[in-house]
Amino acid sequence: MSNIEKEIAELAHPELPNHNDEECLALAEKLMSQMTLKEKFGQLFQLAPSNANIEGLQWQETNDFNDLIKQGLVGSILSVADIKEIYQLQKTAVTQSRLGIPLFFGYDIIHGCHTGFPINLAMACSFEPKLIERVAQVMAFEASHNGITMTFSPMVDLVRDPRWGRVMESNGEDPYLNKLMGQAYVKGFQQDSLSSYNSIASCCKHFAAYGMVEAGREYNTVDMSERELRQYHLPGYKACLDAGASSIMTSFNIYNGVPATANKFLLRDILRNEWGYSGFTISDYTSSYEMLDHKTSANEREVAKQSILAGLDHEMVSTTYIKYLEELITANEVNEALINEACLRMLTFKYKSGLFDNPYKNIYANVDQYYLTNNSRQLAKEAAIKSIVLLKNDNQTLPLKPTTKIALVGPLGKTNELVGAWGGLVKNESCVTVYEGLVNQFGQANVQFAEGCNINDNDSSLFEQAYEVAKNSDVIVLAIGESQTMSGEAKSRAYLNIPGVQNELARKLKSLGKPIIAIVFAGRPLELEWYQNNVDAILFAWFLGSETGDSIADIVSGKANPSAKLAMSFPYTVGQVPVYYNQYKTGRPSATGKYSEFRSCYIDVPNYPLYSFGYGLSYSKFEYSNLQLSKKQISGKEKLVAKVTLTNTSSIDGVEVAQLYIECKSFSVVRPVRELKAIQKISLKAHESKELTFEIGANDLAYYNIDMEFTPEDTDYIIYIGGCSNANISDNFSYNS
Please say if 284 is a catalytic residue.
yes
Choose, by CB under 6 A, the member of 489, 504, 638, 653 that binds ligand GLC. 489
| 407 neighbors 450 (Cβ within 8 angstroms) | yes
Smaller CB distance to ligand GLC: residue 284 or 700? 284
Strand 201-207 and strand 150-151: the pairing is parallel
Taken in order 422, 426, 429, 431, is the CA torsion positive or negative? negative
**Is 84 exposed, middle or buried, given 0-12, 13-18 or 19+ CB atoms closer than 10 A?**
middle
Q: Nearest approach, Cβ of 318 to ligand GLC (angstroms)?
A: 12
* Residue among 174, 284, 536, 554 flagged as catalytic: 284
Q: Nearest approach, Cβ of 248 to ligand GLC (angstroms)?
A: 12
| 54 neighbors 73 (Cβ within 8 angstroms) | no
| 478 neighbors 531 (Cβ within 8 angstroms) | no
Backbone φ, ψ for residue 734 (5° rounding):
-130, 160
Q: Contact between 108 and ligand GLC (CB under 6 A)?
A: yes
Smaller CB distance to ligand GLC: residue 16 or 204? 204
Among 735, 522, 571, smallest CA distance to 638 is for 735
Q: Nearest approach, Cβ of 594 to ligand GLC (angstroms)?
A: 40
Alpha-helical runs (H) found in 229-372 = 234-242, 264, 290-294, 300-310, 320-330, 336-352
Q: Contact between 157 and ligand GLC (CB under 6 A)?
A: no
CA 729 to chain centre: 31
Q: Nearest approach, Cβ of 386 to ligand GLC (angstroms)?
A: 25
Smaller CB distance to ligand GLC: residue 446 or 487? 487
Q: Contact between 152 and ligand GLC (CB under 6 A)?
A: yes
For residues 110-129, which are near ligand GLC according to CB under 6 A?
none
Smaller CB distance to ligand GLC: residue 127 or 285? 285
Q: Nearest approach, Cβ of 120 to ligand GLC (angstroms)?
A: 12
Q: Contact between 104 and ligand GLC (CB under 6 A)?
A: no
SS3 318: coil
Q: Contact between 570 and ligand GLC (CB under 6 A)?
A: no
Angle at 404 between CA 400 and CA 405, to 5 degrees: 135
Smaller CB distance to ligand GLC: residue 108 or 161? 108
Q: Nearest approach, Cβ of 157 to ligand GLC (angstroms)?
A: 9
Question: Can you list the pairs that 367-373 forms with residues at least 24 positions away whose Cβ atoms lie under 8 Å?
Answer: 367/83, 367/145, 367/146, 368/114, 370/114, 370/141, 370/142, 370/145, 370/146, 371/113, 371/114, 371/115, 371/142, 371/145, 371/146, 372/114, 372/115, 372/430, 372/546, 373/115
Smaller CB distance to ligand GLC: residue 284 or 550? 284
Q: Please report, for residues 521, 563, 659, 729, the alpha-carbon distance to residue 680 in angstroms, rounded to integers and kept in the order given.
A: 27, 12, 7, 16
- 77 sits in which H/E element: strand 76-78
Q: Contact between 326 and ligand GLC (CB under 6 A)?
A: no
Q: Nearest approach, Cβ of 387 to ligand GLC (angstroms)?
A: 21
* H, E, C per residue of 600-640: CCCCCCCCCCCECCCCCECCCCEEEEEEEECCCEEECCCCE
Q: Nearest approach, Cβ of 164 to ligand GLC (angstroms)?
A: 12
Smaller CB distance to ligand GLC: residue 152 or 611? 152
Binding mask 37-76 vs ligand GLC (x if CB under 6 A, - otherwise)?
Answer: ----------------------------------------
Taken in order 130, 135, 140, 145, is the CA torsion positive or negative? positive
Query: Number of residues in contact with ligand GLC, rule: CB under 6 A?
Result: 7
| 659 neighbors 724 (Cβ within 8 angstroms) | yes
Smaller CB distance to ligand GLC: residue 86 or 478? 86
Interacting residues of 24 by C-beta distance below 8 A, sequence separation 6+: 348, 351, 352
CB atoms within 10 A of CB 69: 24
Q: Please report, for residues 28, 82, 313, the alpha-carbon distance to residue 9 in angstroms, rounded to integers and kept in the order given.
A: 30, 15, 35
Interacting residues of 10 by C-beta distance below 8 A, sequence separation 6+: none
For residues 410-469, which are near ligand GLC according to CB under 6 A?
none
Smaller CB distance to ligand GLC: residue 2 or 50? 50
Q: Contact between 733 and ligand GLC (CB under 6 A)?
A: no
Q: Nearest approach, Cβ of 76 to ligand GLC (angstroms)?
A: 12
- 675 sits in which H/E element: strand 675-684
Q: Contact between 205 and ligand GLC (CB under 6 A)?
A: yes
**Radius of gyration of the chain from its Cα atoms, rounded to whole angstroms:** 27
C-alpha to C-alpha distance for 236 and 225, rounded to whole angstroms:
17
Q: Contact between 284 and ligand GLC (CB under 6 A)?
A: yes
**Is 120 exposed, middle or buried, given 0-12, 13-18 or 19+ CB atoms closer than 10 A?**
buried
Q: Nearest approach, Cβ of 257 to ligand GLC (angstroms)?
A: 21
In 389-515, DSSP assigns E strands to 389-393, 406-409, 447-450, 475-481
Strand 76-78 and strand 104-107: the pairing is parallel
Q: Nearest approach, Cβ of 260 to ligand GLC (angstroms)?
A: 12
Choose, by CB under 6 A, the member of 41, 185, 189, 285 that binds ligand GLC. 285
Smaller CB distance to ligand GLC: residue 106 or 722? 106
Smaller CB distance to ligand GLC: residue 79 or 734? 79
Residues that bind ligand GLC (CB under 6 A): 79, 108, 152, 205, 284-285, 489
As annotated, the active-site residues are 284
